[in-house]
């Protein structure tokens, strides 16, 4: 199965969608929508019932159709599944959904821990940049070294990462990274700060870091 559970940057709670449940429980999406609407007060007892409107282009039909896709936390998704028949397909889907919610909660905890550990390392790098001799282009070096850390760790700049993951151009790229990616970037930022402190210039640091990527592009 593909990913069934998602995590929006800077949120505390993993979620699945009405589309995912419809697809893997093998029921129509409008059936799932109606169940949520019919039992809306029950779903709201487990938190806000979020949704987004998605544009869908159906081959052979005129114009664009707009579909309301609900976002459900683990308790809401579990409640919804109690309204469906316990077919073998639904049972297998439930098991996988539980597994993925557990894995995503663990990933969320890992991300929080790594971000806390990364903060002083990131500060060390920005302090090392701040200590460089003044120049008209010094203010651009923060983004330059950040992109170098991303390229060395992930094979992508911050801009490329935001575009790849559908983030706003002003979003913080690290908010769209996995725990493994954050760890790799943090290691590169630490190496950059050490190399700056011993007096290496940008090109020398770049040549050194790009020889060893921690995560493939």
Q: What's the 3-state SS for the chain?
A: CCCCCECCCCCCCCEEEHHHHHHHHCCCHHHHHHHHHHCHHHHHCCCCCEEEEEEECCCCCCCCEEEEEEEECHHHHHHHHHCCCCCHHHHHHHHHHHHHHHHHHHHHHHHHHHHHHHHHHHHHHHHHHHCCCCCCCHHHHHHHHHHHHHHHHHCCCHHHHHHHCCCCCCCCHHHHCCHHHHHHHHHHHHHHHHHHHCCCCHHHHHHHHCCCCCCCC
Determine how β-strand 16-17 pairs with β-strand 65-72: antiparallel
Q: What is the pLDDT along the chain (217 residues), one digit of tens a residue?
A: 689 999 888 777 999 999 999 999 999 999 999 999 999 999 999 999 999 998 877 666 677 888 999 999 999 999 999 999 999 999 999 999 999 999 999 999 999 999 999 999 999 999 999 999 988 888 889 999 999 999 999 999 999 999 999 899 999 999 999 999 999 999 999 999 999 999 999 999 999 998 765 444 4
pLDDT in the model for residue 178: 94
For the record, the structure tokens of 48 come out as 């806000």
pLDDT in the model for residue 217: 42
pLDDT in the model for residue 56: 77
pLDDT in the model for residue 216: 44
pTM: 0.81
pLDDT in the model for residue 65: 83
pLDDT in the model for residue 212: 64
pLDDT in the model for residue 59: 66
φ, ψ at 135 (rounded to 5°): -155, 160
pLDDT in the model for residue 100: 96
For the record, the structure tokens of 208 come out as 């050194």
């Amino acid at each position: 199965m593909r990913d069934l559970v998602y995590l929006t940057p800077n949120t505390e709670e993993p979620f699945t969608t009405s589309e995912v449940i419809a697809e893997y429980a093998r029921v129509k999406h409008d059936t799932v929508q109606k169940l949520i609407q019919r039992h809306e007060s029950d779903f709201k007892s487990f938190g806000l019932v979020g949704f987004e409107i998605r544009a869908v282009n159906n081959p052979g039909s005129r114009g664009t159709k707009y579909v309301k896709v609900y976002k459900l936390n683990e308790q809401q998704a579990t409640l919804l599944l109690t309204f469906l028949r316990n077919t073998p397909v639904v049972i297998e889907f439930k098991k996988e959904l539980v597994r993925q919610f557990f894995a995503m909660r663990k990933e969320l905890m890992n991300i929080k821990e790594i971000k806390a550990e990364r903060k002083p390392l990131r500060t060390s790098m920005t302090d090392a940049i701040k200590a460089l001799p003044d120049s008209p282009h010094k203010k651009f070096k923060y983004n330059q070294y950040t992109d170098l850390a991303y390229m060395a760790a992930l094979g992508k700049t911050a801009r490329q990462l935001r575009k790849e993951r559908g983030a706003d151009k002003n979003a913080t790229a690290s908010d769209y990274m996995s725990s493994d990616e954050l760890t790799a970037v943090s290691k590169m930022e630490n190496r950059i700060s050490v190399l700056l402190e011993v007096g290496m210039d940008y090109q020398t640091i770049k040549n050194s870091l790009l020889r060893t990527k921690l995560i493939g592009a």
